[in-house]
Structure 1
């Protein structure tokens, strides 16, 4: 059965960063909570190799982890991505988050290897706005990547859009876009200023919820994180809103692995990292157990809300970092 932490949260999924390299330079990027560690696009010695990734997944599968999402950086910069997907335990559903630029020409290979779902980052339908956010001129290539994913059978394709000052004016257009285009869904992701250091870019996500509720044909609530889904003219829009959200953290069932092979119990924390290094499988099992056992809901426990806002819970202030 799945491992659970002291807050009765079972871990049923893992997010594995395959690289911190990326061909984009998105202004909101927090690199899976690690900050800006991105380097050149050439392969780096500190990245886990395919054997490391597969060995960890095999251990996770022993504890009934049934889903893995490969992330980055840009995971498709890994030339061995198809091999990793192919070697992932059959009991795991395999998905990936990508900027989409490498999907043309590779999507079919990844589907054949076992990839089942894909999220493509697309923050605007306007090429100039897209370039300003991503610091790239690859707008047309991303659109081609979305089509390649659909053609390869990765249906539905989720478009990830971070909602912040630079993109808020394009939300309505993106909602219309997924309503008009069969096979697409939209995931609006709340901007996380604590990870990017630019609080002035923040947007009140509750206003987005309110607007969608007003125009939606129906609203659903997902059990995971108590997320809301809005169906608008046949298109589906879901909001991911973790900031200050105790319900979101209370429903978290994921452990993360950094590109360097460190287990990470929470997106917002880097004081709980455990390196798997050159570990054997028995050692990885024990390290995975320890990581799960010491997971703490970020909002509502690690941080507690007071009259002055969210403050560190004294219980965890002296918790030693684990490297």
Structure 2
């Protein structure tokens, strides 16, 4: 297993199969690439299935045990089932999607080898959903969630980006997941450093505090040091802390009865999050990057021969740097500035 200079093992890869999408979400940073979406036709430099599989056949050699397929919207790839089927069996396979294409395809994806799915759902009513996603696909997303559940992709994790327009729906989303055992919820902090509109950001610590008050158990996940809260539905007579003196236990194993899981992803200005990152990313055109927030560390895999893949992967792991706390450091006024050590770092190839 490869480890960077900061002791972080790389155990997973996140592969963006396309930057095309049938939504136009106002918060989208397109896997850190910015708003590069354009025509719905594939770009000439978009990796084909052979490109993706060549890469995935190599990474298990370095101890990587999971891959998450993302986009854009990965289900715009007509060859997605082929890519999943050809992914090496050593890798756990998951996908992030807006869910609109899951009806009619979820069962085939499961048969091909898909094991888990994240579905974006940012609100519990069609009007707000349409305003956030610039689409009228609210009902299609709900149908996609049902299709995933029916295909056996349980638990289905719902992704909600928490910012000014969606924060009011957090309690309703939490109750929805707590009342439905097949669902989990991932609350994702809005990232103004990638998308602009800093005025849309809310204090994610308030979300943590509110969840902690309702939690019947709290645990910490190794990936990014994320916090998970186990919460009972609001109408559950036992919807209160199971711990002594009102303190939630640290393990969900201590919970007596059903509870829903809510996980918070809070990367903004968070050195602890970055210090516990174990992923390498691949852009739709086959560039490796060690950090969502950076574009100056990209390494092209070119024609993706095996030797090029190995060399590019080793290099990107060797040059990985935690974004907050290392690449970005506190200035004298308490703000963030680029660490001088990385000002002259190599640019994208």
Which segments of 5 or more consecutive residues in structure 1 lack a partner in the other structure? none
Is residue 51–residue 304 contact of structure 2 (8 Å, CA) maintained in 1? no
Match of 2:290 among 258, 265, 276: 265
- Aligned residue number for residue 277 of structure 1: 302
Runs of 4+ in 1 over 3 A off after TM superposition: none
Q: TM-score, normalised by structure 2?
A: 0.91
Larger radius of gyration: 2
Match of 1:62 in 2: 61
> Per-residue displacement from partner, 1:256-290 (whole Å, max 9, x unpaired)?
00001000110000001111121310111011100
Instruction: State the partner residue of 1:132.
Output: 131
Aligned to 1:173: 172
Q: Is the 8 A contact 2:123 2:166 kept in 1?
A: yes
Distance in 2 between residues matched to 1:25 and 1:277, nearest whole Å? 30
TM (norm. structure 1) is 0.98
Cα deviations by residue, 1:78-131 (Å, 9 ceiling, x for unpaired):
000000000001100000000000000000000000000000000001110000
2:317 equivalent to 1:318: no
Work out the CA distance in 2 between the residues paired with 1:223 and 1:21: 31
Map of 2:72 onto structure 1: 73
Q: How does 1:1-323 map to 2 (within 5 A)?
A: 2-233=1-232, 234-306=259-331, 307-323=333-349
Cα distance in 1, alignment partners of residues 131 and 348 from structure 2: 38
Aligned equivalents of 1:65 and 1:85: distance in 2?
16
- Whole-Å Cα distance in 2 between the matches of residues 279 and 107 of structure 1? 30
Secondary structure of 2:264's match?
strand
- Whether contact under 8 Å (2:54, 2:304) holds in the other structure is no
SS in 2 for 1:109: helix
Give the match's secondary structure for 2:135: coil
Query: 1:245: Cα distance to partner?
Result: 1.0
**Deviation of 1:320 (Å):** 2.1
Deviations 1:3-31 (A, max 9, x none): 11111111110000000000000000000
Query: What is the CA–CA distance in structure 1 between the aligned matches of 2:195 and 2:112, rounded to whole Å?
Result: 35
1:13-53 deviation digits (Å, cap 9, x = unpaired): 00000000000000000000000000111222211000000
Partner Cα separation in structure 2 for residue 147 and residue 280 of structure 1:
40
Runs of 5+ in structure 2 lacking a partner? 233-258
- Distance, in Å, in 1 between the alignment partners of 2:26 and 2:124 is 17
Q: Aligned pair count?
A: 322
CA distance in 2, matches of 1:175, 1:322: 41
1:166 CA displacement = 0.8
Q: Deviations over 1:182-222 (max 9, x none)?
A: 20000000000000011010010000000111111111111
